[in-house]
Amino acid sequence: MVSAGFHPYMGGAEKQALELSVALRSRGVKVQVLTRRLPGLPRCEKIRGVPVERLWCAGGGFLNALTFMGSLSCWLWARASGYSAVHVHLAGSPALPAALAGRLLGKRVIIKLGGGRGIGELASSAQTLGGRLKLRLLSWLRPQFAVVTTDLAQECAQFLGPVPVQVQPNGVDTARYRPLPASEKQALRRKFGWPEGLGFLYVGRFAPEKQLVKFLSAWSQAAADHPGFAAFVGDGPEGEALRTFARESPLAGRIFVMPPMEKIEEACAAADVFVLPSVSEGLSNALLEAMASGLAVLGSRVGGTAEAVEEGKTGLLFAPQDSAELADKLKSFLAEPGLAGRMGAAAREKAVRDYSLERVAESYEKLYAR
């Protein structure tokens, strides 16, 4: 496993790298993680049983990326007899040396692309000269690419040409993220200070493309005469706008803007509906965690959300720019509180069936061996 960042610095890609590594090791696969050496972290350690080696790099920015590429190249060539496949998380600086080593050493190389269509790695890379050069080199080296949604596979063809691409969804720990009995759910609500009624939850980055203020405005109008709450857990550039809206809203006591929490499964278990109103989305880890926790989904009809959510069965979807449709779907949940429970149970079944870490690890194991 190769990732420019890794635990304890955990974004979505880093989280998947760790969880997949743990799941593969439980299946008997030998896994070694390679990442950058950052100040204050040991060169080698084990994290949840997974050996992690942090390679030397210097400076910041381009120099840091360049020296990490050099260290990774040396490691892959010097230890060529000790591994059969290289799985690179995101097409950043490690992707090129891994793809080159794979071509010259005859190793299987999988590069997992990240982000949503139009705002992810490929679209961002295409906007700079260095990024376009990287895409051209990757297209020539032709490693195996993995994407989490079919629309990202189409974008991959657009930017990289006829390269091998396979849709591989993210996985979720369905034992950690699970529904809780009503008594435990109520205890968690009391712990967070959340009131009774239908609870809407967002978990993730407070970024403009997530349209959280727009959702909160729609929720405030629709929920004025209904008990319940809206909770936002995370951080990001839109955090202050959310907090300001919450302070000034007539429903201020029912809106909660909270920092990231370590036991996010508790927040999921205490809510009823997970909201994801993004303009673009890959396959959100938080979405899968919410589904595994038994939450219905209210999300925009884009990317992995549209593929993971079965309209009318596990959740309700709306066009990302359609405020009227968003309001209608909100009213559907509020008018029939039992709807969230039924859809949440179906969402849990789908998460276990299609997105469990065990299933995803088995699929990747076959891809490594192909």
pLDDT at 33: 97
Cα→Cα distances 126→66, 135, 356, Å = 20, 8, 33
Q: Is 48 left (phi over 0), alpha (psi -120 to 50) or beta?
A: left
Cα separations in angstroms, 112 against 180, 205, 319: 33, 21, 27
The pLDDT tens digits for 264-284 are 999 999 999 999 999 988 899
Please determine, for residue 205, whether its predicted confidence score (pLDDT) is greater than 80: yes
Q: Does 5 map to a domain? A: no
Residue 47 maps to which CATH number?
A: 3.40.50.2000
Q: Is the pTM of this model over 0.85?
A: yes
- Domain identity same for 148 and 192: no
Q: Which domain holds residue 85?
A: 12-171+357-369
- For residues 91 and 129, membership in a common domain is answered with yes
Whether 191 and 125 share a structural domain = no
Cα–Cα distance for residue pair 354/340, rounded to 1 Å: 20
Report pLDDT digits (tens) over 102-131. 999 999 999 999 877 777 788 888 899 989
**363 and 345 housed in the same domain:** no
pLDDT at 189: 97
Region 303-329: mean pLDDT is 95
Query: Is 29 inside a domain boundary?
Result: yes
Number of domains in the chain: 2
**pLDDT at residue 337 in the model:** 81
